[in-house]
Structure 1
Amino acid sequence: MIKKLMSYIGEYKRDTLLSPISVTFEVILEVLLPMLMAKVIDNGVEAGNMNYVVKMGLLMLVVAMLSLAAGTLSGVFAARASMGFGKNLRKAMYDNIQDFSFQNIDHFSTAGLVTRMTTDVTNVQNAYQMLIRMFVRAPIMMISALVMCVSISPKISLIFLVALVFLGGVMAFIVSHAFPIFDKMFKGYDKLNASVQENLTGIRVVKAYVREDHENKKFCDATDNLKKMSVHAERLVIMNQPVMQFTVYTCILLISWIGAKMIVGNGSMTTGDLMSLFTYTIQILMSLMMISMVFVMVTMAISSAKRIVEVLDEKSSLTNPEQPVYEVKDGSIEFDHVDFAYGDEQDKEAQQEKCVLRDINLSIHSGETIGIIGGTGSSKSTFVQLIPRLYDVLNGAVKVGGVDVRDYDIETLRNEVSMVLQKNVLFSGTILENLRWGNKDATEEECRHACELAQASEFIEKMPQGYETYIEQGGTNVSGGQKQRLCIARALLKKPKILILDDSTSAVDTKTDALIRKAFREEIPDTTKLIIAQRISSVQDADRILVLDQGRISGMGTHDELLRTNEIYRDIYRLQQKGAGENE
């Protein structure tokens, strides 16, 4: 795990190296100051030699300024290295997530990924900064100060050895007990973020159903759970401070008592030596405090690091072949004995029992319009998601243009298969910026033409700023039908060989739906069109209609053929006709 994370230091290795070098100079200079101070007291103040006091005082000032400069540089280098390390981690995670297949995305919650890229990375970069600065400074300071203490009085130095053993045991106890709590705490952050995300995304539904109290309770439960775990962890961590203070004050009292006896009793120690011992005592114990803080931070960071590495180690279940095909000949589609199941594709035997598509055999000619209909849970969306290789089949093969989709370069294939998903998504930005997701180089005229085909131009032109109208995040300032038409226009701008509409006209009226289908027939006759719909009126003029039932093909044919031969289709048609008659 550490080796994996360290590989993302990248261009910040220089700063990572310069920070401990600078802090080493800072510590050496700091350790010299108490020794110089002892000389001032013994050889200057007590001897009444003011020239010596002034000379040594100036030297101490120079040493202090140099130490300050080295410490400042160390802070700058450490900050640059840690922030850069955090930046590289976030970028690596984000880039890896972009390569995830739908199957990989299913492994992580959205809230969990957000927490990993924010809170977890912040914990790791803060720990990294402390490691390359504080964790270098503290041991060097402690060892150097101990050496100076031993040179002044080996007898008094034994006090520090006892203190070190005691504090080491306390820190080991805190770290061992706090680690599992921090691990649970970060999972609590995931749940809290999920609660916030759901509430803010669905705020209109919450208000429409007057469920504010329910959402408040859910949020409060998540925060209370997180608070309890945080308090539990802090109870352990907070022990560090009083134990440290107890040790510091005990050491000072013992040194004062023993040192005073040595000065007054046999004169084996000077006043200057005792004063420098006090300073070295503070340096040693402050170093121990720094080390304990680093251990606490590292304990938190280890939990975060594991979660980050999980994302970095997740490999896309969809990869390019060694010699990919870079050209899609046409829009023909063939399903050859296709089985599909969600889950880990390595466990094929277990998956076979969970197949949501079974033995699908189908040939679609380039330029055909295929309607797809079936009950809820009949795997209509899963069926079309295999075409642009959003998932891989379990058995059999899906072919586009006569070539297995697994043999194509993924980007090439998806550029030729334009898909409007069931959940339409618009991004924050202008209408033109959203349309150009389909083709970043599309002219405004091409965008307008695509909107005319999708029957979106009329409502766009009525907006105050037209095509420059700003779309809020998630498209909250346009209606469901308007959002669907914008997404269809965006898909058309790709000029694909295959166009898939996954229930993408459900929010538009039947007249607009008919106009969109008419535009498809007249403007893109060579594009293969697959239209999933709940309304038979949306697909009845298709070249052929596919009826799916529980992951199997129940029927295939024209509207009239299916009315004669397929009971499921006939039942759906009768129910919809009856409902239309009652509405009239």
Structure 2
Amino acid sequence: MKNLFKNLLPYKRTVFAVLLLMLAQTFFQMKLPQYTQAMIDVGIQNKGVEHVLPEAVTIEESVALQRHMNTVQIEKWQELYEAEEENPDIFKRKNITDKELAVLDKEYLEPVLDRYREKLNKNKLDDIGDKTKLSMGIAYAVMCNEEAGLDILAIQNRYMWRMGRMMMLVTLAVLFIVGGVAFLSSRVGASIAKNLRSEIFANVMSFSNAEMAKFQTSSIITRATNDIQQVQMTTMMLLRLALFAPSICIWSIIRVYQTRANMGFIVIIGVLAILLMMAVLFSIAMPKFKIMQKLVDALNAVSREIITGIQVIRAFGREETAERRFDKANQDLYKNQLFVNRAMISMTPLLMIIMYGLSIWITWVAAGRIDMGELQVGTMTAFIAYSMEIVFSFLMIAGLAIFVPRAGIAADRIAEIIDTKTSINEKEDADELTANSEGVLKFNNVSFKYPYAEENVLTDISFEARPGETTAIIGSTGCGKTTLVNLIPRLFDVTSGSVTIDDIDVRDISLSSLRNAIGYVPQRGILFSGTIESNIRWGKEDASVIDIEEAAEIAQAEEFIRDKDEGYESDISQGGANISGGQKQRLSIARAIIKKPKILIFDDAFSALDMRTDANLRKALSEKMADSAKIIVAQRIGTIMQAEQIIVLENGKIAGKGTHNELMKSCDIYKDIAKSQLAITESGN
């Protein structure tokens, strides 16, 4: 979970700004129920009159009211009102602040109610609630205003317009804040996603084959796409709700208490019901969340394997088998997601039941209290609004509780890749190979075993490959040929012994310098989407057109390139799917040759070529790349017969070393391979 929040640290200023905006949104949003309450209680019920003391009163009514006051109240009353110049029979209230009027309302409520009772010929007011007493006091003020000639409808409209404007301003403020929060949170989420993708890419590019074997390609893709999207969306949700939901919940609870409606027990019961529901649902769903991403990885792995091997599947007629494999992975994910979705979807109707149940319960209890004069309609409306805010805040918290753990798991999976240290490290004071370097390659008692393996793949390998010479490596399948050449560019590091170039351990040479000195052609021709020219340029980005054409000519690719309508600008689809295997291999060879490396490695790169192209390519290499040390891994004897040195591998050990003729006399393994491929006369026996 800490990895999820750690991503926010670089954006702490923006996060702080979002938190301030959230507090502002909470403040303004809590104002809306207050204004609604005021419009109902004051604007509608009290006709826009807010206080017990009337704005104007006739002289007769003033005298009648003063009969119900004590001496102090009478003196203060006479100070509060003054006669109009135009009509001395009307007394108008002086300008007094709302705060002062609120104090005076309490002081004059009883005399006003006594006068109101007298005026209406009612004998008793003791059995009505305080809220009704206040409403009746204001009703008396309305009556006085009307008797004094004030326009009651104008007063009411003025108040309603004032409250309406305030509600409109508050709503606009909330909309502005919500827009600002959405903009900032989206920006932070997108920036985090971008940075995580960049970090994953940068670290994966430094991975050795050991790290690539640890993380499957499909898993890396899932983490770089699906997991990062999960983190991005949850980060946005977190910024928008993490502070807003708790703050609006707390503020609503405070406002519920301030309404003095004495119905807080209903809200408490509703909250407890929500918490119980969430606890049950999460206990059911959370275990499924933890395995969901693994199932996504599994589905991606199966999909990638099937799509990559679609030709083999078709060739063997195993479409149904592949479909069953995919369907199983798909069904496993489907069942998991269906279970989780059903559990989470059930939360919404349950919350709706709780919300509507609370509303009905509050209305039922409030109706009795309104009838008893203990509560006003507007107060009930505000209470319901605050109660719903509390419920919605728990709904938002529930949403966070669902997505944050999932995003936490996704963030941990992302961090696992980013924090993985490559086993191929470069020294700070690493040596550089210069243009004058010879390129003499030596294996000195090299042994190697894969990470977590118990047995060596290579044992005590020693040989020297000199510039201008060809060193061939041959042996049965699985004897360690590819592993051996992978040690040269440090795709793996030796377990013991050393690999040197010009007597410098490759582990002491900077990776960029080492790999710039090596041209590597893998077993499988790997091309990138683009053009023929752009693929060859991968070997040397600033290569001239002449360099590209020369490399293609040496690689025996010039002929088929010219046969294409667009020549070097011909499109290459992803993986080179739109050209043949031999053409892919020749372009891969051209890509390695164009950089004119000190060491050229061909890992069974001639297997996809016909015998004539093979011979022409080897001849061109010996003529045009005479200064390079050439390492050729091959299965065909015909490819390596002319090599200055042939190394025969068997079970990871050197079983023979020498020229073709020498090995035919001294190495039975080589002799058996040769006899299985060549005619007796061609093999020289």
TM-score of the aligned structures, taking structure 2 as reference length: 0.81
The answer to whether the Cα contact below 8 Å between 1:358 and 1:551 also exists between their aligned partners in 2 is yes
Corresponding position of 2:392: 286
Q: Find the partner of 1:555 among 656, 660, 663.
A: 656
| CA RMSD in angstroms, aligned pairs only | 1.8
Corresponding position of 2:295: 188
Q: Find the partner of 1:467 among 557, 565, 568.
A: 568
Q: Secondary structure at the match of 2:257?
A: helix
Q: Write out per-residue CA displacement over residues 214-245 of structure 1, whole angstroms, 9 at most, x where no aligned residue.
A: 22222211111111111222233233223312
Q: CA–CA distance in 2 between the matches of 1:569 and 1:337?
A: 22
Does 2:444 correspond to 1:336? Answer: yes
- Residue 432 of structure 1, CA deviation: 0.5
* Residue correspondence of structure 1 range 233-248 to structure 2 within 5 A: 233-248=340-355
502-511 or 299-308, which deviates more: 299-308
Q: Secondary structure at the match of 2:263?
A: helix
Q: Secondary structure at the match of 1:106?
A: helix
Q: Secondary structure at the match of 1:507?
A: coil
* Code of the aligned partner of 1:310: E
For structure 2, list consecutive stretches of 5 or more residues without a partner in the other structure.
48-155
* Code of the aligned partner of 1:36: Y
Q: Secondary structure at the match of 1:51?
A: helix
Does 2:402 correspond to 1:296? Answer: yes
Corresponding position of 2:488: 387
Corresponding position of 2:15: 16
Q: Write out per-residue CA displacement over residues 237-291 of structure 1, whole angstroms, 9 at most, x where no aligned residue.
A: 23322331232122212211221122112x2221110011111122111111111
The answer to whether the Cα contact below 8 Å between 1:338 and 1:398 also exists between their aligned partners in 2 is yes
Q: Write out per-residue CA displacement over residues 46-65 of structure 1, whole angstroms, 9 at most, x where no aligned residue.
A: 12222211111111111111
The answer to whether the Cα contact below 8 Å between 1:331 and 1:497 also exists between their aligned partners in 2 is yes
Q: CA–CA distance in 2 between the matches of 1:10 and 1:274?
A: 44
Q: Find the partner of 1:505 among 606, 629, 635.
A: 606
The answer to whether the Cα contact below 8 Å between 1:379 and 1:551 also exists between their aligned partners in 2 is yes
The answer to whether the Cα contact below 8 Å between 2:4 and 2:407 also exists between their aligned partners in 1 is no
* Code of the aligned partner of 2:46: A
Q: CA–CA distance in 2 between the matches of 1:370 and 1:441?
A: 30
* Residue correspondence of structure 1 range 540-579 to structure 2 within 5 A: 540-577=641-678
The answer to whether the Cα contact below 8 Å between 1:183 and 1:303 also exists between their aligned partners in 2 is yes
Corresponding position of 1:484: 585
Q: CA–CA distance in 2 between the matches of 1:510 and 1:10?
A: 61
Corresponding position of 1:347: none
The answer to whether the Cα contact below 8 Å between 1:124 and 1:304 also exists between their aligned partners in 2 is yes
Q: CA–CA distance in 2 between the matches of 1:183 and 1:465?
A: 52
* Residue correspondence of structure 1 range 528-547 to structure 2 within 5 A: 528-547=629-648
Q: Find the partner of 2:432 among 326, 329, 332.
A: 326
199-208 or 284-293, which deviates more: 199-208
Q: Write out per-residue CA displacement over residues 135-183 of structure 1, whole angstroms, 9 at most, x where no aligned residue.
A: 2221111111111111013631232223323322332343344233122
Q: CA–CA distance in 2 between the matches of 1:494 and 1:8?
A: 41
Q: CA–CA distance in 1 between the matches of 2:192 and 2:211?
A: 25
Q: CA–CA distance in 1 between the matches of 2:234 and 2:513?
A: 42
The answer to whether the Cα contact below 8 Å between 1:450 and 1:489 also exists between their aligned partners in 2 is yes
Does 2:357 correspond to 1:250? Answer: yes
* Code of the aligned partner of 2:166: L
514-523 or 214-223, which deviates more: 214-223
* Residue correspondence of structure 1 range 22-421 to structure 2 within 5 A: 22-48=21-47, 49-153=156-260, 155-265=262-372, 267-327=373-433, 329-344=437-452, 351=453, 353-421=454-522
Q: CA–CA distance in 1 between the matches of 2:32 and 2:228?
A: 38
- Residue 195 of structure 1, CA deviation: 2.2
Corresponding position of 1:449: 550
The answer to whether the Cα contact below 8 Å between 2:261 and 2:383 also exists between their aligned partners in 1 is no
* Code of the aligned partner of 1:546: I
Q: Secondary structure at the match of 1:322?
A: coil
Change in Cα spacing, 1:579 to 1:420, as seen in structure 2 (3 Å) is farther
Q: Secondary structure at the match of 1:525?
A: coil
Q: CA–CA distance in 2 between the matches of 1:5 and 1:278?
A: 36
- Residue 212 of structure 1, CA deviation: 2.4
Q: CA–CA distance in 2 between the matches of 1:96 and 1:6?
A: 21
548-557 or 53-62, which deviates more: 53-62
Q: CA–CA distance in 2 between the matches of 1:217 and 1:72?
A: 48
Corresponding position of 2:118: none
Give the structure with higher Rg (CA): 2
Change in Cα spacing, 1:484 to 1:80, as seen in structure 2 (3 Å) is same
Q: CA–CA distance in 1 between the matches of 2:634 and 2:173?
A: 75
The answer to whether the Cα contact below 8 Å between 2:261 and 2:379 also exists between their aligned partners in 1 is no
Q: CA–CA distance in 2 between the matches of 1:579 and 1:436?
A: 44
Change in Cα spacing, 1:443 to 1:13, as seen in structure 2 (3 Å) is farther
The answer to whether the Cα contact below 8 Å between 2:481 and 2:649 also exists between their aligned partners in 1 is yes
Q: CA–CA distance in 1 between the matches of 2:232 and 2:678?
A: 63
Q: CA–CA distance in 1 between the matches of 2:4 and 2:333?
A: 27
Q: Secondary structure at the match of 1:155?
A: coil
Q: CA–CA distance in 2 between the matches of 1:14 and 1:470?
A: 47
Q: CA–CA distance in 2 between the matches of 1:176 and 1:111?
A: 30
Q: CA–CA distance in 2 between the matches of 1:306 and 1:538?
A: 50
Q: CA–CA distance in 2 between the matches of 1:131 and 1:89?
A: 18
Does 2:619 correspond to 1:518? Answer: yes
Q: Secondary structure at the match of 1:392?
A: coil
